[in-house]
Amino acid sequence: MKVVNHVLHAEGSERIIHSESPNRSGPMSPDTIIIHYTSGRDAESSVESLSDPNVKASAHVVIARDGRIFQLIPFNIIAWHAGQSSYRFADGTMREGFNRFSIGIEIDNAGILTKSGNVYSAWFGRTYEEKDVLKAIHRNERTPRFWHRFTETQIAAVEELCRLLIKEYNIKHILGHEEISPGRKVDPGPAFPLDKLRDRILKQDRKTNEGNLIINFPSNGVVTTNKLNIRSDPNELGEKIARPLLQGTRVRVLSEANGWYRVAVEIEGWVAGKYVGVDQV
Ligand SMILES: [Zn+2]
């Protein structure tokens, strides 16, 4: 699976299905992924409703229970999945209106089920077997409810897609709809392993700031590795613009991008952030 021109492709497979939703706005540069469940009957019906101009909702992709991925909107175009939303990040910054900078992943799932005898029913009337049901307490609630389980294939597809998007875009955060619209939304809910997924795939990003989440730029830093390349851009492909910085070199850390710090010595350039100890607030 790869992204070409902001659209998914998988050679020689029918795993990616291209569809079109008119429910979109202008261009954006995503830095966040928002995870949802559809609360629907199946992926096809959710794709249909998320493409209905009267519904005024959409998402970039819908992931079916068998792992097929429907893409409705290119990743660099605003989709309408988050609605009224806000979140305070670990560094204290507050953001609102997540549609403007996030990719919305909808996962086909019936959502909250109600139990009657041995039967679990969704709001749209379909019933589910006990093996497909998880009884659990939602992170925003206090009493357990019944939740439709996701398939292993779906969870693997979400992880694969998130890893790909992190590589393609400057994705820094993965959040559940329930976290940016608490009280209003409960998706993806406790049946989705959101915290585990985040730990697994954002760990490397987090390592930079591990335990010390607040940096006020500019800040002072010191090189903590033998030799540290200083580059023209915040990635391994950036041109080396000077001799490597030596261990113990004091630097002025000006900003951060994707785990890289822009530092000033006699010259300015980008170094791998993990090799710079930065004064913390
Ligand atoms: Zn949602």
DSSP string, 258-280: TTEEEEESSSEEEEEGGGEEE--
| Residue 169 Cα to ligand 1 middle (Å) | 21
| Residue 172 Cα to ligand 1 middle (Å) | 19
* DSSP letters for 192-219: S-HHHHHHHHHHHHHHTTTT-----SSE
| Residue 1 Cα to ligand 1 middle (Å) | 24
CA distance between the termini of the chain: 41
- Residue 9 is encoded by which pair of tokens? 């492709």
| Residue 234 Cα to ligand 1 middle (Å) | 33
| Residue 35 Cα to ligand 1 middle (Å) | 7
- For residue 82, the model assigns a pLDDT of 97
Ligand 1 (ion): which residues have CB within 5 A? 36, 177, 187
Q: How far apart are CA 131 and CA 90, in angstroms?
A: 37
Q: Please check whether residue 84 is in contact with residue 78, taking contact to mean a CB–CB distance below 8 angstroms.
A: no
| Residue 224 Cα to ligand 1 middle (Å) | 43
- For residue 281, the model assigns a pLDDT of 64
Q: How far apart are CA 15 and CA 61, in angstroms?
A: 12
- For residue 88, the model assigns a pLDDT of 92
| Residue 272 Cα to ligand 1 middle (Å) | 35
Q: How far apart are CA 137 and CA 145, in angstroms?
A: 6
- For residue 235, the model assigns a pLDDT of 85
Give whole-number Cα distances, 57 to 17, 105, 255, in Å: 19, 13, 36
- For residue 73, the model assigns a pLDDT of 98
- Kindly list the averaged pLDDT for each block of 10 residues, start to end, along the chain of length 281: 96 91 97 97 98 97 98 98 94 93 98 95 96 95 96 97 95 96 96 94 55 63 87 88 88 83 81 84 64
Is residue 243 helix, strand or coil? coil
Handedness of CA 176, 191, 197, 195 (dihedral sign): positive
| Residue 147 Cα to ligand 1 middle (Å) | 15
* Other residues' Cβ atoms within 10 Å of the Cβ of residue 76: 18
| Residue 278 Cα to ligand 1 middle (Å) | 37
Q: Please check whether residue 73 is in contact with residue 5, taking contact to mean a CB–CB distance below 8 angstroms.
A: no
| Residue 181 Cα to ligand 1 middle (Å) | 9
- For residue 207, the model assigns a pLDDT of 42
Q: Please check whether residue 253 is in contact with residue 219, taking contact to mean a CB–CB distance below 8 angstroms.
A: yes
Tell me which H or E stretch contains 61: strand 61-63
| Residue 57 Cα to ligand 1 middle (Å) | 10
Mind listing the domains of the chain with CATH numbers? 2-207 (3.40.80.10), 219-278 (2.30.30.40)
| Residue 187 Cα to ligand 1 middle (Å) | 5
| Residue 92 Cα to ligand 1 middle (Å) | 24
| Residue 208 Cα to ligand 1 middle (Å) | 30
Q: How far apart are CA 138 and CA 253, in angstroms?
A: 40
Give every CB contact of residue 58 below 8 A, 6+ residues apart in sequence: 21, 23, 24, 50, 51, 72, 73, 79, 80, 81, 104
| Residue 111 Cα to ligand 1 middle (Å) | 11
| Residue 168 Cα to ligand 1 middle (Å) | 23
Q: Please check whether residue 1 is in contact with residue 160, taking contact to mean a CB–CB distance below 8 angstroms.
A: yes
